[in-house]
Amino acid sequence: MLNFPTQELRDRAIYFLEQTPQKRLQILQQLGIARYTFLTQMRINEANINCISRFLNNPNQVKFPNLNGADLSGLNLDTVNLIRGNLLGANLQGSSLVNADLLFANFTRADLRNADLRGATLNETIWLAALVDECQLGVGTGLSHQQRKDLQLRGARFSSSADDN
């Protein structure tokens, strides 16, 4: 059973996710974390309740967002700044992250199938066991040659590349 502070935090996260996007943005502004506007798009489910709980528990410590296990599938995350973001096990299936800033992001065990990362900055990213089938990536994204080849072998697609599968 959850202890009271944990239950209270969970209740606050559920309350947040039940609000309209406009009301969510107001809450984020009050907390000083309105730069994470994608939180206004998240669906209410267990994964996102846990994610929002982390944001609400430490709003002053979200410079490097902890999106471990979050469900961001199908969202428009174009131009989002998730530098050093922890996306371990996150569901990004079908999401658009065009021109996103993802330097040092951890995609370990993340689901990026059919995601669009064209133009995203991907220097020093971690892709261990990430699902990338049909994930769209651009040229010059900051990936090492080895990362690029590994992602291609796992089904990622690189736009404007002569050596796509």
| Spans of all domains in the chain | 1-58, 65-165
pLDDT tens, residue by residue, 17-54: 999 999 999 999 999 999 999 999 999 999 999 999 99
pLDDT tens, residue by residue, 86-120: 999 999 999 999 999 999 999 999 999 999 999 99
CATH for 65-165? Answer: 2.160.20.80
pTM beyond cutoff 0.75? yes
Helix 46-57 to helix 4-18 angle (10° resolution) is: 110
Quote the CA–CA distance of 148 and 11 in Å, as a whole number: 42
